[in-house]
A and B are shown apart, each in its own frame.
Chain A
Amino acid sequence: MSATHHHHEEQDFLFKYIFSQDHKMISKQFLITGFLMGFIGMVMSTLFRLQLGFPGESFWAIDFFLGSWAENGVMAPDKYLALVTMHGTIMVFFLLTAGLSGTFSNLLIPLQIGARDMASGFLNMLSYWFFFVSTIIMLISLGVEGGSASAGWTIYPPLSALPQAIPGSGLGMTLWLVAMAIFIASSLLGSLNYIVTILNLRTKGMTMTRLPLTIWAFLVTAILGVLSFPVLLSAALLLIFDRSFGTSFYLSDIYIGGQVLEHSGGSPILFEHLFWFLGHPEVYIVLLPALGITSEIVSTMSRKPIFGYRAMVTSILAIAFLSVIVWGHHMFVTGMNPFLGAVFTFTTLLIAIPSAVKVFNYITTLWKGNIIFSPAMLFSIGLVSTFISGGVTGLILGDSALDINIHDTYFVVGHFHIVMGLSAIFGMFAGVYHWFPKMFGRMMNNTIGFFHFWITIVCAYGVFFPMHFLGLAGVPRRYYTNSEFPLFDNMIDINELVTWFAIVAAFAQLLFVFNFFYSALRGPRSSQNPWRANSLEWTAPVEHIHGNWPGEIPEVHRWAYDYSKVDENGEYVSGEDFISQVVPLGPNEKDGGH
């Protein structure tokens, strides 16, 4: 009897926590796995920053973390390339794609549209487990002979196509490709579910124009994923054929060590076309969810309706559309026809318009609001800041004439880390602080959150802002050291400063880790609607139930942004400064957003 009981409990545990098909649990699985990968990626960056700031010096930290990759605590040059490659791969795909979309699309889509769960819980579970297997393979690749992939996160051939090219081109590169193929499968399964759930399972009254902007962002992100990840898969497959079967899709006229290889007829530029056809939409796959999260938080924490709801939706759509016709701006120096370059410059600069609309709307939403500076709000405002300062340098890089001078310099590194890396991770932090009560039923500690934000934003700018000056001076990216070039002798101080900021920023993240785990276990219990927000997820009980609402799914009667709504006498319509989406419209009341 007791054995059966025990067995039953074990099964319960297995299906509740491990092979769960509940979107809320899957969201937590994505969050934890994503953050774990993010932490590994951050440690890697801190280590190679030590090498860049203090080239050739010995550090116990490098010795401790890298072992045989660093003799006497000095990083080996080929391992520097391996670390840079894996840092990029992990941060872009594992943290900011799967970690961000996987967490918040899963958590919020059913809860905010009023559905019991995703369209297919089974596919959703598969999506997480494919992701998990992919992370394991990617981590294993760090330990194989020759080290992990080292051709940069963009894995351009021929370095990635010829196993004998560099140490990291061997088994490490093969595992990278296998891991990414599985990752793409995971991402596609997730995206399918997100799109179909949003389009088909909305509760009564939840029209498309009443959807919170988070949902719009997740929807468009998923559509971009479905359209662009398969193209990366096709590129990766051709690469696998070249590597393992001896085809010549990307290879032609190659000599290694004086020996002629038999590949002929292919073109490495082809890979760049295919890669960046994914690669640029990928920027928005990373960014749009963060922008959606920010819209929600900025409005709730300003106690004001989001400014220009329709313009926000339109600009999300416009950004997504433009993102698939700009990939050539990554390839201005590949010998591209200058006329074609001008076309790509034009489409690239067009993105500034919807981006500016979004920034304008964030600021006008904040304007004269009753702002509550919660950690989530601070990170959201931080996102608006990084989105502006990173976006402005994007205009310079998007112009082919200017780009040629600073291509592949630290200017590019500074630009994309601010506009994509920082914005997306700020959005993710904001999301975690804001929806932590929904995830764990407890509140995070605000004071630690404030320290986390302020140290992070100061250090983040401290790391990436000076990089623009390095780039303008011509310092190339991806070099192990610049100490061989007298030209860059006076740059070493900047590099040292950047490294110090990076170290402090890395330690500041420990505050978040502590706050996260401590609050999940010991934080004060949350009320059902701690932020006094309108959207549907806060009408569900704090205690998670599979199916989300104990009775009927609530019906929706208004948009999600009725904050501080007053009647003709200047009194709050509902007696409070917010009105939940489930409250029916009054006789003279108009629905917002239309």
Chain B
Amino acid sequence: MTSIALENNDYKKEIKQKTAKPLLWIGLMSIVMFFAGLTSAVIVSKGTAVWETIQIPSAFAISTVFILLSSLTFYLGERSLKSNQLAKAKLFILATLLLGLLFTVTQYLAWTDLYKNGVVWAGSESSAAGSYFYALTALHLLHLLGGLISLLVVNFKSIKEKYNAENLLGVQLSSTYWHFLTALWVYLYLFLIFIA
């Protein structure tokens, strides 16, 4: 079996440039449908079951601020890369990772708050509303873990100065995913306020 062009690095790079972004976008579509399924499940449940009122922990508001800031720093980091200000870019990208971690911590704090208020995930004391609170936020966080891993890689590469204005596909993919997670969180946060 002979190989034509496929092993050629220029060819591989060209295909990657052409297809990596659309692959990500369509992948994001499927995540949208996943959460659309879950949130419409909440609406159906709300219409049929006894719905418990839940006090939204303030930590969720703080985490919203963190994730919005992280998107801002990622945007600034990408912009700095585009103008080849590598030192600035490094800082912004590192800040993004830290803000992402802070978001994770505040999510955990919010769950402990919920638990203290008697909202439990499962068992005889649980209610559908409470379980949805945990399920939606945890599944978002699970997707965010993927984002954090990609941020680790991007940070590592940016510290080693592998990115510049001509070569930043990896950063663009990671930031698209990250902005998506921010938007998804804002949607979920508003949705939680709506169902609480």
Contact = CB atoms under 8 A, between A and B. Distances in A.
A151 to B, nearest CB: 19
Interface residues of A, number: 53
Say whether chain B's binding surface is mostly helix, strand, loop, or mixed. helix
Nearest to B131: A247
Interface in B13-41: 15, 18-19, 22-23, 26-27, 29-31, 33-38, 40-41
B131 A116 contact: no
B26 to A, nearest CB: 5
A541 to B, nearest CB: 11
Interface stretch (A193-201, A360-368, A377-385, A502-510): A193-201
Contact of A245 (B5, B6, B27, B122): B122
How large, as a class, is the contact surface on chain B? 35 or more
Contacts of A545: 1-4
A228 to B, nearest CB: 7
Interface in A525-554: 544-551
A262 B128 CA distance: 13
B26 A192 contact: yes
B121 A546 contact: no
A231 interface: yes
B139 to A, nearest CB: 7
A195 to B, nearest CB: 5
Interface in B91-105: none
A196 B40 CA distance: 28
Nearest to A188: B30
A547 B4 contact: yes
Interface stretch (A142-150, A264-272, A344-352): A264-272
A117 interface: yes
B10 to A, nearest CB: 13
Contact of A248 (B15, B33, B38, B126): B126
B126 A226 contact: no
Interface string B46-62: 00111000000000000
B41 A270 contact: yes
B44 interface: yes
Interface string B138-155: 010000000000000000
Given A230-B31, A267-B44, A270-B48, A119 B128 contact: no
Given A246-B126, A267-B44, A227 B33 contact: yes
B127 A265 contact: yes
B9 interface: no
A547 B3 contact: yes
Interface of A: 16, 116-117, 119-120, 123, 188, 191-193, 195-197, 199-201, 226-235, 237-238, 241, 245-249, 252, 262, 264-267, 269-270, 273-274, 277, 544-551
Interface of B: 1-6, 11, 15, 18-19, 22-23, 26-27, 29-31, 33-38, 40-41, 44-45, 48-50, 121-124, 126-128, 131-132, 135, 139
